[in-house]
């Protein structure tokens, strides 16, 4: 009988490894795979509690690292909130010390946007397709202060005050009797000149109520005649009548008291101009730069070239009477004028 060994026999199955179910072949692993398998085997030997503990420690380390990184980027680390040890009623100081009233500081994530600039940027893009630089502000030229002409009445008042102060200083130095008589004579001369320059206010009327109101303030009253009290009578005619009855008056001022732009300074400057004895009349005007149209029948024609329209500042200055006040001398009014060419 011929005996055949197991090694010489041809294994009939391709699915079951040689040796059968109870004799599997040994597998050779590389060192990395072997170490990994040993680690898995050791972990499988740990209890469930130990595995949960290791997992929680790893999670805490990761969250701590992420939290420290985020706090360092956004805001400084906040102090820990002190919680009470019991649920009993607490005092106000205890609550304040615990930090319950401290509000969290708001830190915006995005920079603040200037809405006006954003609107302007959008408007320029929609209208022009690009940002338009605003025009530079106009240069403000400081107006030179105009030298005001000192009124003669104010000048005399200032000179009297200076002489009184000088006399007082001389009296304190013991030299009063030496200068007292001279200074008093100069002061009396200045006072006489002031009386001659004193302005008189006259109310010209034909109405009884106006007469009564003017009498209450001790104003001088001129009773107008029936001829000059009509609507057709001119101001020049009424002024002539006034000067004929009051020969002591050399200059007349007609003032429109209801004018909203009338100032005392304008009247003082006008009186100062007349005191120079160079002009016989002073009146108020308004400076104007206007493009005018002239009427011919039913048509209007421009006084300038429409195709080459001039700028207002390039036009010649015009001076228009505004009727605020008129100053004129007796000599000029008696000739039949309120104004002359000077």
The CA dihedral of 181, 182, 183, 189, to the nearest 10 degrees, is: 110
Structural domain includes residue 48: no
Is it the case that residue 3 has pLDDT exceeding 60?
no
Q: What is the pLDDT of residues 25-52, one digit of tens each?
A: 666 778 888 888 888 787 776 666 677 7
Task: Quote the CA–CA distance of 50 and 53 in Å, as a whole number.
Answer: 5
User: Does 180 map to a domain?
Assistant: yes
Tens-place pLDDT, residues 191-220 = 887 776 666 778 888 888 888 888 887 778
Look up the pTM and report it: 0.41
- At 6-20, the pLDDT tens digits run 555 566 666 666 665
More confident residue, 2 or 161: 161
Interatomic CA distance for residues 324 and 328, integer angstroms: 14
What is the structure's pLDDT at 236? 83
Model pLDDT, residue 39:
80
Round to whole Å and give the CA distance between 242 and 205.
11
Q: Which of 44-53, 65-74, 135-144, 161-170 has the lowest mean pLDDT?
A: 65-74
183 assigned to some structural domain:
yes
CA-to-CA separations, 313 to 83, 290, 303, 304, 316, in angstroms, rounded: 79, 9, 16, 14, 8
User: Does 272 fall in a domain?
Assistant: no
Domain with 181 in it: 149-198
Cα(18)–Cα(25) distance, integer angstroms: 8
Is residue 188 domain-resident? yes
In degrees rounded to 5, what are phi and psi of residue 327? Answer: -115, 135
Answer yes or no: is 62 within a domain: no
- Least confident stretch, 81-85, 113-117, 315-319: 81-85
% the chain with pLDDT above 90: 1
Is residue 185 one of the residues assigned to a domain? yes
How many domains would you assign to the chain?
A: 1
Cα separation of 38 and 271, whole Å?
121
| 182 in a structural domain | yes
**Of 193, 126, 123, nearest to 157 (Cα)?**
193
- Strand ranges inside the chain, DSSP E: 202-205, 220-223, 251-255, 281-288, 293-296, 299-302, 318-329
Under the banding of pLDDT at 50, 70 and 90, the label for residue 165 is: very high
> pLDDT per residue over 253-263, tens digit each?
888 877 878 88
Q: How confident is the model at residue 146 (pLDDT cuts 50, 70, 90)?
A: very low
Q: Look at residue 26 in the predicted model and tell me its pLDDT.
A: 66
Mean pLDDT of 133-161: 71
Q: Which pLDDT score is estimated for 162?
A: 92
């Amino acid at each position: 009988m011929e005996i055949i060994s197991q090694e010489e026999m041809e294994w009939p199955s391709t699915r079951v490894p040689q040796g059968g179910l109870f004799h599997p072949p040994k597998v050779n692993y590389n060192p990395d795979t072997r170490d990994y398998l040993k680690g898995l085997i050791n972990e499988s030997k740990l209890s469930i509690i130990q595995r949960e503990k290791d997992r929680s420690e790893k999670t805490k380390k990761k969250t701590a690292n992420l939290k420290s990184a985020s706090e360092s980027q956004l805001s400084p680390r906040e102090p820990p909130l002190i919680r009470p040890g019991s649920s009993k009623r607490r005092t106000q100081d205890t609550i304040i010390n615990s930090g319950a009233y401290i509000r969290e500081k708001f830190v915006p994530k995005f920079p603040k946007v200037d809405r006006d600039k954003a609107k302007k940027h959008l408007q320029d893009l929609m209208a022009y397709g690009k940002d338009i630089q605003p025009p530079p502000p106009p240069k403000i030229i400081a107006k030179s202060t105009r030298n005001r002409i000192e009124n003669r009445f104010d000048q005399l008042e200032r000179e009297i005050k200076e002489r009184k102060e000088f006399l007082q200083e001389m009296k304190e130095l013991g030299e009063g009797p030496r200068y007292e008589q001279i200074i008093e004579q100069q002061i009396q001369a200045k006072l006489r000149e002031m009386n001659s320059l004193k302005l008189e206010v006259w109310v010209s009327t034909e109405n009884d109520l106006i007469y009564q109101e003017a009498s209450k303030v001790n104003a001088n009253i001129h009773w107008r005649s029936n001829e000059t009290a009509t609507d057709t009578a001119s101001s020049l005619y009424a002024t002539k009548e006034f000067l004929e009855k009051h020969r002591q008056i050399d200059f007349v001022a007609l003032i429109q008291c209801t004018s909203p732009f009338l100032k005392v300074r304008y009247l003082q400057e006008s009186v100062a101009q007349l005191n120079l004895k160079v002009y016989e009349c002073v009146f108020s005007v308004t400076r104007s730069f206007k493009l005018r149209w002239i009427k011919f029948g039913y048509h209007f024609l421009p006084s300038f070239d429409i195709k080459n329209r001039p700028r207002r500042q390039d036009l010649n200055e015009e001076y228009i009477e505004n009727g605020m006040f008129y100053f004129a001398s007796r000599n000029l009014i008696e000739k039949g004028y309120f104004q002359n060419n000077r």
